[in-house]
Amino acid sequence: MSTIGSEEMKGILAQLGIQSTNSGASTGSNWMNTTGAKIDSISPVDGKLIASVNSATAADYNALIEKAQGAFVEWRKIPAPKRGEIVRQLAERIRFYKEPLGKLVSYEMGKSLQEGLGEVQEMIDICDFAVGLSRQLYGLTMHSERPGHRMYEQYHPLGIVGIISAFNFPVAVWNWNTALAWVCGDVCIWKPSEKTPLTAIACQRITQEVFEANGVPEGVSNVIIGDAEIGKLMANDGRVPLISATGSTRMGKSVGAAVGERLGRSLLELGGNNAIIITPSADLKMVVPGAVFGAVGTAGQRCTSTRRLIVHASIYDKVTEALTSAYKQLSIGNPLDQNNHVGPLIDQEAVNNYLHAIEAAQKEGGKVLVEGGVLSGPGYESGCYVKPCIIEAENHFAIVQHETFAPILYVMKYSGDVYEAIALQNGVPQGLSSAIMTNELKESEAFLAAAGSDCGIANVNIGTSGAEIGGAFGGEKETGGGRESGSDAWKVYMRRQTNTINYSDSLPLAQGIKFDL
């Protein structure tokens, strides 16, 4: 397809209800007259202004909280399957807007159009998952030690869920949280990244089309756009029992400390330093696409991006030659052109971090196998396009221990058994995603065992990047320990209650205690 033009983008913005200057806070369909500093959304694709947002203030935040508190009182009374039906309708509405929303994601964030559309599909998928979940918010029954008693546990909604999301998945992560929280009976306040405010506005408008049609109380879905101070207000606010935060480890530590101080709950999905182990039996036909997409997809700006390749010495030369050849075939350019494999980094700060990481790796003794650098000239006017880089490095290098959100792949050797490779894989502070490429059953089982990968995600013969909705998503160590999306991740959005019912004519005490009056 041809790349998107300015007239087409104007049409997309109009279709999604986005104007040249937008309000930065909404409670339901009520868009506030926000007066905070103006945030310009600049596309990394071409460096052009898309639209602007007047950010929200602390007063706007408090108004949203009060509205959300009132909405929760009503929303929690609606039966969960009824809430699920509303989320089902939301999935249908997102399907209707999939193409324009996917294009806006790609243009505002810079990921490929295929990935932008794929991210919107993740929204649809999690809504579908949540619909079924709305009839399965199950507890347990258990036998009481006291005669004539019954015990069970049940789950109730928490209240307000605060969502702080990052720029790299500007719509999917929000919906991972909201779809589950809404069927659980919670209300949500979303602080999106100030780097991608327009996709957030579009999501709120789409949601409100469905919510208004179903008479959902205003305040069940809220968005507030602003700087880190808004995030701090949320993290320190005792009226928000759960904060779900996605982003850097530095940000997560700050949020976790603030929420912990007030004994609230936090769901943290933070940085990754993900590795693929390549054993002698690995099939190179699977290794190359898995490693290349993992390293350069979304220009290396995924929390699950492949940062490290741990290759057995016996096949090291063969693997690096194949990767070098594959990198020569990469096409870098406008992500809305499906002929391109790699789009831009989000902004100049990201470019500077990329350049610093390459320099730091070389200073520590790293050897560049595929040269990096910033691209310039026609098509690269934004200054955010960089070349994917491969560096031969050691796992202990300080820069290798650090997550750099850019298309830099560190390759390293191991010469012993699979346990040596696993030790290297685990030898970083982060613990999000991991993978092994092997055709040996013993190696794959060792990787998945208790003494194997210490990550929240461990894959065999697929890469580190990407995850299906059905499984819980998240990681360990400095990745934060949170879980979003599938499996039983819904439980974090609810409070557990144990119930004991006495249907006898006496009141026996537990553990046989006697208390006679």
β-strands 242-246, 408-414 pairing = unpaired
CA distance 310 to 287: 12
Cβ-contact 199, 171 below 8 angstroms: yes
**β-strand pairing of 408-414 with 389-392:** parallel
Our measurement of the distance from residue 349's CA atom to the centroid of its chain's CA atoms, rounded to an integer in Å, reads: 21
- Strand stretches in 354-431, DSSP E: 367-370, 389-392, 408-414, 430-431
The HSE-up count of residue 161 (CA atoms within 13 Å, CB side) is 30
Residue among 84, 80, 86, 107 nearest 8 (CA) = 107
Enter the tokens of residue 108: 């505002």
Alpha helices (runs of H) in 47-171, residue ranges in sequence order: 58-75, 80-96, 98-109, 113-133
Specify the DSSP element, H or E, that contains 172.
Answer: helix 172-184
Structure tokens at 387: 């070349």
User: Do residues 430 and 326 lie in contact, with contact meaning Cβ atoms separated by under 8 Å?
Assistant: no
Among the listed residues 120, 132, 216, 134, the one whose alpha carbon sits nearest the alpha carbon of residue 172: 120
Catalytic choice (115, 269, 478, 484): 269
Between β-strands 141-143 and 484-485, what pairing exists: parallel, antiparallel or unpaired? Answer: unpaired
**8 Å CB contact between 497 and 154:** yes
- Find residue 155's DSSP bridge partners: 496
Amino acid at 394: E
Q: 303 an active-site residue?
A: yes
Q: What is the spatial distance between Cα 64 and Cα 465, in angstroms, rounded to a whole number?
A: 36
Q: With contact defined as beta carbons under 8 Å apart, do 111 and 166 qualify? A: no
- What single DSSP character describes residue 512? G
Q: Is 261 a catalytic residue?
A: no
Structure-token match 């910033």, residue found: 374
Q: Which of these, 342, 391, 343, lies nearest to 365 by C-alpha position?
A: 391
Token pair, residue 138, equals: 């199950």
With CA atoms as reference, report the closest residue to 201 among 192, 209, 210.
192
CA–CA separation, 103 vs 114, rounded Å? 9
Q: Check 127, 184, 203, 303 and give the catalytic one.
A: 303
According to DSSP H, which parts of 347-502 are helical? 348-363, 418-426, 441-448
Beta bridge partner(s), residue 152: 141, 499
Output DSSP code: residue 447: H
Which amino acid makes up residue 301?
Q
Q: So which residues are the catalytic ones? A: 269, 303
